[in-house]
Amino acid sequence: MIVVMKPGASQQQIDHVIERIEQLGLRSHIIVGTERTVVAALGEKRDGAKQALETGDGVEKVVPILAPYKMASTEVKKERTCVKALGLSVGNRRIGVIAGPCSVEGRSQLLEIAQMLKEAGATGLRGGAFKPRTSPYSFQGMKEKGLELLAEARQQTGLAVVTEVMAPEHVPLVAKYADVLQVGARNMQNYPLLERVGEAGVPVLLKRGPSATMDEFLLAAEYILKMGNSQVMLCERGIRTFEDHTRFTLPLATVPYLHQTTHLPVVVDPSHGTGKASLVIAMARASVAAGADGLIVEVHQDPEKAISDGYQSLTPAAFREMMAECRKVAAAVGMEM
Ligand code: PEP
Ligand code: MN
């Protein structure tokens, strides 16, 4: 439920509402708007709770939240969320571009590509140190050494580090180095992991599971939000369908749909979404045209020799071309990039 306070309700009246919500065994979450304050009452539905809260001083009305996800919903918060980490800003009509290799492979590889990406206009640096690989025999990532290299690349370029955390027990370690914690597609419904990244207080990039519905995706985000972390970006990275001309099918209607249902910013990953470097630029342009708040793309100085996902990685020259083309589209739809 949402308790909508009257304009100009006093702090004492708001505090009283919060106290009543907690006495009813619900959690309260305050959203201070420009005109009025609303207090969300979260938890299992209770008989009589609506009537009990409606009688409070300073309360205008109590409305049920219809969406199954609460804090992620535009019913609870109308103003759009903007996620910020160093120079990376995602949302609020500014498109954040996160680019980098699939995996951190070594010092010169990472520092060299980070410099090129910075010069080309990226604001975030991606690179996996802990890699979720389909086969247990594939390269699993450089782990903590990789995180150290990402921190060194940040120091040299100022780019915000975006890197995946795969296990709840790794959250403190990865959060020590990362500016944004990435939760991968395979882990979208790893609820203990979502709760731990929610507690970490670091911005999160949550990737959509390849078979997750929009409600499942938003409920996964809700696990992070309910821990008090409101800096969450949703990332469409393609879903599994019968189609096999691309690695995944990239549904771009996700972008406007999520803009209608949630205030959280939406990032698109055209690299995993297509699995083909030759398709990435066009889908990046289309993502911007659809209103994406951010892009995450794989770039490697020598894609042929990349340890993982080289076939979908752009060269630095192709990345520059993507930036130039996407900037034109961004300008056309009233966004900055
Ligand atoms: C990645 O970003 O390299 C990655 C593994 O992505 P996803 O979790 O979307 O498969
Ligand atoms: Mn990858």
Summarize the confidence of residues 47-67 as an average pLDDT: 89
Give the residue from 204, 201, 162, 175 showing the smallest Cα distance to 187.
204
DSSP 290-306: TT-SEEEEEB-SSGGG-
Instruction: Give the phi and the psi of residue 30 in degrees, each rounded to 5.
Output: -90, 140
DSSP 127-175: -BSS---SSTTS----HHHHHHHHHHHHHHH-PEEEEE--SGGGHHHHH
- pLDDT > 80? residue 216: yes
Verify whether ligand 1 is closer than 6 Å to residue 185 (CB atom): yes
pLDDT score, position 74: 92
- pLDDT > 80? residue 194: yes
Ligand nearest to the CA of 310: 2
Summarize the confidence of residues 30-35 as an average pLDDT: 81
pLDDT score, position 44: 81
Give the position of tokens 């749909």: 257
Ligand nearest to the CA of 206: 1
Angle at 267 between CA 266 and CA 272, to 5 degrees: 140
pLDDT score, position 32: 80
On whether the CB atoms of residues 64 and 5 are closer than 8 A, the answer is no
**How close is the Cα of 9 to the center of ligand 1, in Å?**
46
pLDDT score, position 125: 98
Ligand nearest to the CA of 184: 1
- pLDDT > 90? residue 36: no
d(CA 294, CA 272): 15
Beta bridge partners of 4: 38, 61
What single letter denotes the amino acid at residue 114? A
Half-sphere CA count of 193, side-chain side, radius 13 A: 20
On whether the CB atoms of residues 180 and 202 are closer than 8 A, the answer is yes
pLDDT score, position 34: 77
Among 237, 250, 308, residue to substitute to test ligand 1 (most atoms within 8 Å of Cβ)? 237
Summarize the confidence of residues 111-133 as an average pLDDT: 97
pLDDT score, position 301: 98
**How close is the Cα of 160 to the center of ligand 1, in Å?**
18
Indicate the SS3 state at residue 200.
helix
**How close is the Cα of 78 to the center of ligand 2, in Å?**
33
d(CA 217, CA 75): 17
- pLDDT > 80? residue 266: yes
In 10 A of CB 72, how many CB atoms? Answer: 28
**Closest CA to ligand 1's atom 3:** 102
Average pLDDT for the chain: 96
Give the position of tokens 């289309």: 286
**How close is the Cα of 163 to the center of ligand 1, in Å?**
10
d(CA 282, CA 75): 34
pLDDT score, position 193: 98
- pLDDT > 80? residue 255: yes
- pLDDT > 90? residue 65: no
d(CA 316, CA 300): 7
Indicate the SS3 state at residue 268.
strand
- pLDDT > 90? residue 241: yes
Q: How far is CA 294 from CA 18, 99, 210, 221, 328, in A?
A: 36, 11, 19, 17, 15
pLDDT score, position 45: 74
User: What tens digit of pLDDT does each residue of 289-313 get?
Assistant: 999 999 999 999 999 999 999 999 9
User: What tens digit of pLDDT does each residue of 166-176 get?
Assistant: 999 999 999 99
In 10 A of CB 336, how many CB atoms? Answer: 11
Angle at 209 between CA 244 and CA 277, to 5 degrees: 45
What single letter denotes the amino acid at residue 21? I
Per-residue tokens: 252: 């771009």
d(CA 68, CA 78): 17
Give the residue from 219, 248, 228, 224 showing the smallest Cα distance to 236.
248
Verify whether ligand 1 is closer than 6 Å to residue 237 (CB atom): yes
Q: How confident is the model at residue 66 (pLDDT cuts 50, 70, 90)?
A: confident
Flag the least confident range among 60-74, 168-182, 287-301.
Answer: 60-74
pTM: predicted TM-score of the whole model, two decimal places? 0.93
